[in-house]
Amino acid sequence: MTTKPDAPQDAIEMLTADHREVSAMFKEFEGLGERAKVSKKKLADKICTALKLHTTIEEEIFYPAVREAIKDAEDLVDEAVVEHASAKDLIAQIEAMDPDDELYDAKVKVLGEQIEHHVGEEEKELFPKVRKSGLDLAALGAEMAGRKDELAATA
């Protein structure tokens, strides 16, 4: 999940694009057969890396800006942070596992379900509030893209 420097995006467009990309990777994972161990590991690692980049820019940049700009979004942001913590725990477990390990596929599937729930809440509840808030989403998106590129370089 890297952004192209010549393609400025607002913060919500950027996060939504990340959501679509990760969703597609989860679908691809589900389509892999029992014997596709190497492909599963590579794809699961790619999903985990993408989610770590995404959650970091949300927690470091997007959520603090939303908290400051929208007082009645506090509960939604708090829930999102808790959902991130749960996802990070599962990500750490998946990264430490091998596709031959018991529950590997189940953990990736549950992570996908958690992320799908999280994305639904963000896109249906939080993002509309943010759009109406007057936040400078282009500037926020540029800051997030820069941080994401920094993180990706060290990932």
pLDDT along the chain (155 residues), means of 10: 58 96 97 91 97 97 95 93 96 96 96 97 96 94 96 90
Q: Beta-carbon neighbour count of residue 49 at 10 Å?
A: 16
pTM for the model stands at 0.91
Which amino acid belongs to residue 40?
A: K
Give the span between the Cα atoms of 3 and 14, in whole angstroms.
8
Query: How many CA within 13 A on the CB side of residue 140?
Result: 23
| pLDDT recorded at residue 155 | 79
Helix 11-31 to helix 137-154 angle (10° resolution) is 40
The candidate with the shortest Cα–Cα distance to 59, out of 19, 15, 91, is 15
| pLDDT recorded at residue 8 | 62
Residue position matching structure tokens 């607002």: 10
